[in-house]
Amino acid sequence: MDITLGDSVSLAEKLYESFGIKSIIGLINNEWVNIVTVIQFTHRKVNDLNSEYRFLEERLGNIDYDNFKVIFQARPIQDFRTVLTELQNGHLKIGEIQTKLLSKNPQEIANQKIGYPSNIFATGEYLEYNCSAATINMDKYPAQFLYDLKISPQSLGFRDFDEFARSWLNLGSFNSPINLSIFYPTYATISEVQYQSGSEIKVTLKIDQHFFDGSHIWITRTSKDDYAPLLERKKYELASCENTLQDGFFYITLRHKFAALSLNDKISVNLSNDKRELLARKEDRILQFPSESCDPFLKAFLLFDAGKKMEEHLLNPKEAGDLVFGFAWLLEMTGISALQLGRDEIVREEKAVKGSADIIACYHESTGSTILAIDCTIGVPDGNKIDKIKNTADYLSRKTGSPVKAVIVTSEKSSITKEIGQKNAVKIIDYIDIEKIIGFYKKHHYPPARQLIVGD
């Protein structure tokens, strides 16, 4: 991203929904100073970020002393202009506390170039996507300020300050003169490169719609020697590939046939954009490519009546049980682990009933796990049903220490109820959504199918 921090504001407002601020502040000479702050832009909503921070503090504990605090806050993307103005004036409001910035020449912050991040410890969506960063330095290391405050890592229960940096601020260490780091995730990733048959591969990827125009894919092949010359090279414009737009992302499928393909050949796929250069890269050896077309689990499932009747159970269920079975099967077929609870659907604490669900599901990925508490109904869900599954998810969240999403699946069209559910943090998947998920499933486009289920 060859632009300055000031120039990035308009782009950030288009690309992101909110940003999180993670700050360590200290009281030095009777003045609150900003020892180190990390700002992370994201697609996620403010409420989701706040939930993440709440669970993080519940698991790791608050750090809140008279002269030393760690504060998390989530803010809508529109607030970043205000934050940038504050930074240029040499301070930043953290919660209710006005803190002094320790960086050199804060008035020049807007001119800071955005480049490759040097000190990020990638977790969450920053593990899935590449990112760029603007870094503002100061004269001392954060660790030095902490020692000046008579704070040692051991007094906080850490092995060292690096453990503190990784766990709370997603920084690799406090042993660099960082006063402020601002991270920009690049919402583009190459999901899979799969060997099909003969000399053909299939590439699937997703990319933010704002990057779609002017983006292209380079596919190259080399022999098993890492330093061998290229054997083949081909460029594809994204606009020419099979694509589906869903929730702000284009999901792309590209089939490429090489002139030849040998065992141990290295296949590289580069996703680039005219304005941002390299967005994502993936490479592997041909021996490691799975063949989706030969999935024996899917083939076996389709031989049963269940596989043949799944779509009927989902779109035209005769009773609620049909919908429960059908949706659980669909979850499994799209890569989401699912358990049908059947007649033992009640959640109890001792003898007190705390909730119920037809299905609990979990999607595991490199960035973490998403747990779902799902209720299925063949009618339009009412307020009581919405409250019931919401209470169940909240109880499970408290008891497990991990956020659990509340979901209602209905075989009816339910646009108005979906809005009510959204206001109550309950995702409602209705007939139209089920049709879309089935469509993606039939085309083996599993990422967008999962996004319709687990996404906001």
The enclosing H or E element of 290 equals: none
> What CATH number was assigned to the domain covering residues 295-454?
3.40.91.30
> How far apart are the C-alpha atoms of 135 and 233, rounded to whole Å?
36
Mean pLDDT for the chain? 88
Per-residue pLDDT tens digits for 363-382: 987 667 889 999 999 988 88
Where does the pLDDT of residue 291 fall: very low under 50, low under 70, confident under 90, or very high at 90 and above?
A: very low
Give the HSE-up count for residue 59: Cα atoms under 13 Å, Cβ half-sphere. Answer: 14
Paired with 193 in beta bridges are: 203
Alpha-carbon torsion 358, 321, 440, 221, what sign?
A: positive
For the chain, domain boundaries: 8-185, 188-291, 295-454
| Portion of the chain with pLDDT greater than 90, in percent | 44
- State the pLDDT at residue 270: 94
Q: What is the pLDDT of residues 124-150, one digit of tens each?
A: 777 778 888 999 999 899 999 988 888
Cα 445 to Cα 437: distance, rounded to the nearest angstrom: 9
pLDDT at 88 over 60: yes
Reported as half-sphere exposure (CB side, CA atoms, 13 A), residue 208 has a value of 20
Q: Looking at residue 197, what is its pLDDT?
A: 73
Query: Encoding tokens for residue 96?
Result: 């209710």
Q: Binning pLDDT at 50, 70 and 90, where does residue 447 land?
A: confident
Helix (H) or strand (E) holding 445: none
Q: Which residues pair with 133 in a beta bridge?
A: 115, 183
Q: What is the per-residue pLDDT across 407-439, written as a single tens digit (0 to 9) for each?
A: 999 998 877 778 888 888 899 999 999 999 998
Query: Domain 188-291 adopts which CATH fold?
Result: Immunoglobulin-like (2.60.40)
pLDDT tens-digit profile of 19-62?
999 999 999 999 999 999 999 999 888 988 888 888 888 888 88
pLDDT in tens, 251-271: 998 999 998 887 788 899 999
Interval 105-128: pLDDT, tens: 888 899 998 888 877 877 777 777
